[in-house]
Chain A
Amino acid sequence: KQEVTQIPAALSVPEGENLVLNCSFTDSAIYNLQWFRQDPGKGLTSLLLIQSSQREQTSGRLNASLDKSSGRSTLYIAASQPGDSATYLCAVRDGNKLVFGAGTILRVKS
């Protein structure tokens, strides 16, 4: 059974810092991995998708990497801003479904 873990559970940083969010999964036989952002009480916004054959994807200040063999992914956020404050969720595609971690709650202080 696929299990996804995200560390840390919560993170508070001053504006402008670069930061890394971690995601690990137990079964390396994944099709792809998605990173999402969720604002309080809202739905999920897809940030990046990495195919199992890829090593990383970039979008603006975000960079996600994937090491399938070790069961790990990282989301790097450069020059953090208060507007980046949200919960960040990692999910792996396991057959027809996504299996999610519990998320990292990020607070960027101005």
Chain B
Amino acid sequence: DTGVSQNPRHKITKRGQNVTFRCDPISEHNRLYWYRQTLGQGPEFLTYFQNEAQLEKSRLLSDRFSAERPKGSFSTLEIQRTEQGDSAMYLCASSPRQGTWEQYFGPGTRLTVT
């Protein structure tokens, strides 16, 4: 069991550019979550997938944000026309199909928009 992985770990981009992050969940975990964390705050929920279906989206997920999980395995989070306010740590988590729904987090992708 290799844990949740995220790539890239760090991304610096200029305002207005598009960025895409990838998350690989723990194998056989059918639930996948994206959160965003700003400095000094706890993570905030963005969106949730069960298999390939996106079942819940936060109001934080503006129309510049899109997330996919095309084959029910890895997921991508794309931010279009980045703004300085998008600078944050983007965290991915997964949980198994049965049991306690305990969420296991990846190392995160740190986004800096200049």
Contacts and interface: CB of A to CB of B under 8 A. Distances in A.
Interface stretch (A11-19, A41-49, A65-73, A76-84): A41-49
Contacts of A31: 101
B7 to A, nearest CB: 13
B105 A43 contact: yes
A103 B42 contact: yes
Interface residues of A, number: 25
A43 B56 contact: no
Interface in A86-103: 89, 91, 93, 95-103
Interface string B82-114: 000000000101000000111111111010000
B65 interface: no
Contact of B45 (A41, A98, A101, A103): A98
A48 B93 CA distance: 16
Given A43-B107, A97-B33, A49 B44 contact: no
Interface in A46-63: 46, 49, 51
Given A42-B108, A49-B100, A102-B42, 18 more contacts: A31-B101, A32-B100, A32-B101, A34-B102, A43-B6, A43-B107, A44-B43, A44-B91, A44-B93, A46-B102, A46-B103, A46-B105, A96-B55, A97-B56, A98-B33, A98-B103, A100-B43, A102-B41
Interface of B: 4, 6, 33, 35, 40-45, 48, 55-56, 58, 91, 93, 100-108, 110
